Amino acid sequence: MDKETKSLVIMAVAVLTVFGAAYAGIVMYSGTSSPFYTVESGSMMHSDNSKIGIVDTGDMVIIKSPSKAGIVTYAEGHRTGYQKFGSYGDVILYERPGSIAVIHRAIFYAGYNGDGTWDVSSLFGYGGDWDLNGIPGDTLAADDLKSVNGVLSFENFGHTGNKAFAVNLDNLSPKVSGYITMGDNNKEPDQTNGISAGAIDDGRIVGVAAIEVPWLGCIKLILLGNGSERIPGNSVIMLVMSFLLLIASIFVLNFVYERYIKKREE
pLDDT (tens digit per residue) in 50-103: 999 999 999 999 999 998 989 999 999 999 999 999 999 999 999 998 888 999
How much is the pLDDT for 1?
59
How much is the pLDDT for 48?
93
| Long-range Cβ contact pairs of 254-258 (< 8 A, separation 24 or more) | 254/7, 254/8, 254/11, 257/7, 257/10, 257/11, 258/7
How much is the pLDDT for 8?
61
Q: Which whole number is the average pLDDT over 136-165?
A: 97
Does the pLDDT of residue 6 top 80, yes or no? no
How much is the pLDDT for 236?
87
Does the pLDDT of residue 109 top 80, yes or no? yes
- Per-residue model confidence as pLDDT tens digits over 211-229: 999 999 999 998 888 777 8
Strands (E), the chain: 36-38, 60-64, 83-84, 87-88, 91-94, 102-112, 118-119, 129-132, 135-136, 151-157, 163-168, 178-182, 205-213
What's the whole-number average pLDDT of the chain?
91
Does the pLDDT of residue 174 top 70, yes or no? yes
How much is the pLDDT for 97?
86
Q: What percent of the chain has pLDDT over 90?
A: 71
The CA-based diameter of the chain, rounded to the nearest angstrom, is: 84
How much is the pLDDT for 11?
62
Q: Grade residue 202 by pLDDT with cuts at 50, 70 and 90.
A: very high
Between the CA atoms of 135, 148, 128 and 79, what dihedral angle is there, to the nearest 10 degrees?
A: 140
